[in-house]
Amino acid sequence: MTKQYLVDTHVLLWAFTDPGKLSREIRSVLEDEKSDIYYSPISLWEISIKHGLGKLLLEGTTPEGFYAELSESFFKCQPLRNESLISSYHLPRHHKDPFDRMLFWEALQNNLVLLSTDAAGDWYKESGLQVIH
C-alpha cells in the first residue's frame, strides 16, 4: 500500500542541497518507492519570499532554478485548495509561523504524514497530525 507524505520546506530544500541533514527516518521514507511524496505551493512561496529578503541562500541557483530541478524529481505537488486556505483558522494557535501553520493544516486536511525538521508539528498531534522527524 502506498503511503502519502507532505514535506516541510526544510525537508524539501535539504533533500536537494544537503540530504545528510535529514534524519534516517525521513531519508528512509524519501527513498521508499512505495511512498508518494508531496510538496506544497506554500513551500515554494516561502522559498521565494525568504530568498528575496536575503534570509535564504540557494547555493548557485535561484528559486526558479530550484523549482526546475524539483519539477524533474519524484516529488509531487499537493494542490492547494481554497477550502484549506479559508478553513485554516481552525488550527489551534500553538505556533505563529504562517508557512508552518499552513503546512500543518494541509497535512491534516489531506490525511498526509508530515515529514518535518520542526518539532512545532508535535504540538498538533492532539489535532491528529502525524509527523516524522
pLDDT in tens, 22-65: 999 999 999 999 999 999 999 999 999 999 999 999 989 999 99
The three grid cell numbers given for residue 57, joined into one nine-digit string: 541562500
The residues, ordered by sequence, that sit 6+ positions from 38 with a Cβ below 8 Å of its Cβ are 4, 5, 6, 7, 75, 76, 77, 78, 112
Q: Which CATH class is domain 3-132?
A: alpha beta
Q: What is the pLDDT of residues 92-113, one digit of tens each?
A: 888 889 999 999 999 999 999 9
The three grid cell numbers given for residue 48, joined into one nine-digit string: 521565494
Residue 69, CB half-sphere, CA atoms under 13 Å: how many?
12
CB 66 within 8 A of CB 35: no
* Distance, CA of 115 to CA of 132 (rounded, Å): 5
* Distance, CA of 53 to CA of 36 (rounded, Å): 32
The domain locations on the chain are 3-132
Question: Is 1's pLDDT higher than 80?
Answer: no
